[in-house]
Amino acid sequence: MGKMIQNQTVANQKLLSPLKGSVAKTKAKKKKEFKVSVDPTGNVKIVGRPDFNTRAKKLIPKADQGMDLDRRHLVHYDEEIKPYGELVIQKVVAKHGAGTGAVIKAALMSRGCTRLPSSDEALYQRLITEVNSSVANLVPDDASINKAIEIVRANLRKLRQQWVHDPEVLRIFSEMDKNNYHQATDKLKFQASLSLLITGASTDITAAVQLINKDLLDLINGSQTAHELYILIGELENSVTFDISQKASREKIAFTNEWRRAREAHEANARSGVDNADEMLAHLVSLIEKY
């Protein structure tokens, strides 16, 4: 398996380079304007990412602002805060209707937030901004590691989709039988490995991506069966989603892990039909460190 990867041509590696694609996409893509909207049917959509508030910006002291540091989420925005925020607002709107703004304002005030806006839309945006900017959930960390994790996480999401839609993967599965099972499994491992190969000039970001990918490739190549590989891909996606910064304190890690477990329970209850809109909102704002 290792030889198969090593024998890939440079041309193919450049073509399949996830880092190159991610960086190019980042340069070309204009930052989406942050917006929270509720359509007439009550569905909620959060577009873009809010800027950090003043308290989050001060997390990196002026003396360290010249260093290559970034604010790293423990509970991530795209994977957790954003979808949970959409569900919370949707449930609160469904329960409280015209009184939603007052309910959200009261929830923010319970965390010490002041100078709150009056319109519902502005309150929705302030809610998500405060949660995203919570210093209890942020750690100043190496910016290259943050970017590397974003790239690997995106590539693992693509890999998961590949196993559902990619014609080559589907062909391997369709032709798999007891006579070629091991060979087919090796082909599937090879296809999975291609999503994680990177080439190009060495930078702090590529070095960090390669370091993460080495561990991921070892796990992929160690899979014994196609079923084990399929389960592993899902676990890998989650393991990178829920990464823990080495610079996070024990207290922060314990707090965010406990918050995440409770969030999963609230979300499961809501999706099963339980009327827990107020509890979900209270849990969302509990991520905000009290002013």
pTM: 0.66
On whether residue 197 sits in a domain, the answer given is: yes
> At a CB cut-off of 8 Å and minimum separation 6, what does 170 contact?
none
On whether residue 290 sits in a domain, the answer given is: no
Cβ 71 vs Cβ 133: under 8 Å: no
On whether residue 213 sits in a domain, the answer given is: yes
What residues does 214 pair with on adjacent strands? none
> Is the CA virtual torsion 112, 115, 120, 126 positive or negative?
negative
Lowest mean per-residue pLDDT among 31-35, 157-161, 194-198: 194-198
Question: In terms of residue numbers, what domain contains 273?
Answer: 32-141+247-285
Lowest mean per-residue pLDDT among 73-87, 172-186, 214-228, 236-250: 236-250
On whether residue 16 sits in a domain, the answer given is: yes
pLDDT tens digits for 44-71? Answer: 999 999 998 888 888 766 555 555 666 7
The whole-number pLDDT of residue 70 equals: 65
Q: Answer yes or no: do 203 and 176 share one domain.
A: yes
Does position 36 have pLDDT exceeding 70, yes or no? yes
Find the helix packing angle between 143-165 and 204-221, rounded to 10°: 40
On whether residue 291 sits in a domain, the answer given is: no
The whole-number pLDDT of residue 139 equals: 80
Q: Answer yes or no: do 38 and 122 share one domain.
A: yes
Quick one: tokens of 42? 């009550």
What confidence category does residue 126 fall into, taking pLDDT thresholds of 50, 70 and 90?
very high
Q: Answer yes or no: do 60 and 121 share one domain.
A: yes
> At a CB cut-off of 8 Å and minimum separation 6, what does 33 contact?
47, 48
